[in-house]
Structure formats: C-alpha cells, structure tokens
Structure 1
Amino acid sequence: MLNIVKKSPYETSSLSSCLKYIKKGDVILFTEDGIYAVKKGGMFEKHVSDASQTCSIYYLSPDTEARGIKSDEIISLAKPVDYQGFVDLAIDSPKSITW
C-alpha cells in the first residue's frame, strides 16, 4: 500500500496514525508539509527510521524545494522522487491512503 503523508507531524497526528497501520512492504511517501517528518534532527526522525525497517520511505523533492529545505537536510534513508516518481509509486501500489 502507498501511504501518502501530507500533513505536518508537528500539527496533526497523521504520521502517528500512518505508523500504527503500516505493514511490511508498504511505501510511505512524504509530501507537502509531511516533508518535515523526514528532516534531519527532527523529533520524528527515529519514528521514520524505525518504519524504514519494514517500509520504503520516499519524499517528494519539489515539496522540499518549495519549503526551502535542501536535500542534505533530509534523512538519508528517505529517497527523493519527482512528480513522475510519485505517479510511478501510485501505479505500482494496488491501494493508497492519504494521511
């Protein structure tokens, strides 16, 4: 399943909810303000790192650029994707949910 986290983990419980329901082999894509969850040194870095043991972690790079976040400020286990990569993830996943 493709889990799209688009809300800031500092403002909502979307990330926490997502992490409760993920299963082995799922994909988590961070977009919009969800990007802040994959920032180095952030309070959610460990949670995302733990999730990476069973899930693939991606972030939408145009959303980091729009927020003035450079790629070297993103945790290394998160892989960047562009809009085409987002589409590819959606095509490859039989289901998706947005948190």
Structure 2
Amino acid sequence: MLYTINKSPFETSTMQTALRFLQPGDPVLFIEDGVYAVQGDNRFSSDIAELMRNNPVYALSPDLEARGIGGVTDGVTCVGYDGFVELVEEHRTNTWL
C-alpha cells in the first residue's frame, strides 16, 4: 500500500501516526507540506533514515521546489508528477491528511 503524507511533521503528528501502520515494503510518498520531513539534516532525518531501512521513500519534486528545499535526506527518491502517477497505479493508496 502506498502511503501519501501531505502535512508537515513540524506542525502535526500525521507522519508519526502514519508510520505506525506501515508494513515492510510499503512505499511512502511525501507531498505538499509533507516534503519538509525529508529535507536534509532536520530533526526528522533520523526517522526518515530508519523508515528507509524497510520502506522506499519518495518526495514530489515540484513540492520540494515550491518550498525551496534543495537537499533531501540521502536515499529519498525524488519523483515528478509522472512518478507520482506510476506509484498510484502500482499500489493501493492510503492518504494521510
């Protein structure tokens, strides 16, 4: 199941709640303000690194660019809208708003 997270972890606990339901191998896609979680060297970097031990992690490039985020945590895959669509087509989706 693909998990999409669109809220900043600096403002809500949405990310932490969603992560409790993940199964190994479930991809996680950060979109909108959720991309703040994958910004390199922030207080959530260790959480993202731990997540990537068992799950692929993606971030939507246009949302990173819109927020001026140039560097992401090592191992996070940045995707455009085409990549977003491919992930949605490949997996059932669980959106955490």
Q: How many residues align?
A: 96
Specify which of 67, 82, 85 is matched with residue 83 of structure 2: 85
Percent identity over the alignment is 40
Instruction: State the superposition RMSD in angstroms.
Output: 0.7
Which whole-Å CA distance do the structure 2 matches of 1:48 and 1:22 have between them?
A: 13
Counterpart mapping for 1:1-99 below 5 A: 1-70=1-70, 73-93=71-91, 95-99=92-96
Which whole-Å CA distance do the structure 1 matches of 2:18 and 2:43 have between them?
A: 16
Unpaired stretches in structure 2, ≥5 consecutive residues: none
Could you list the structure 1 runs, at least 4 aligned residues long, displaced by more than 6 angstroms after superposition.
Answer: none
User: Which AA in structure 2 matches 1:21?
Assistant: F
Unpaired stretches in structure 1, ≥5 consecutive residues: none
Which whole-Å CA distance do the structure 2 matches of 1:68 and 1:25 have between them?
A: 29
More helix by share: 1
**TM-score normalised to the size of structure 1?**
0.94
Which whole-Å CA distance do the structure 2 matches of 1:38 and 1:56 have between them?
A: 13
The Cα shift of 1:25 comes to 1.0
The Cα shift of 1:18 comes to 1.1
- Whether the aligned pair in 1 keeps the contact of 2:48 and 2:73 (CA below 8 Å) is no
User: Which AA in structure 2 matches 1:48?
Assistant: I
Which whole-Å CA distance do the structure 2 matches of 1:78 and 1:66 have between them?
A: 18
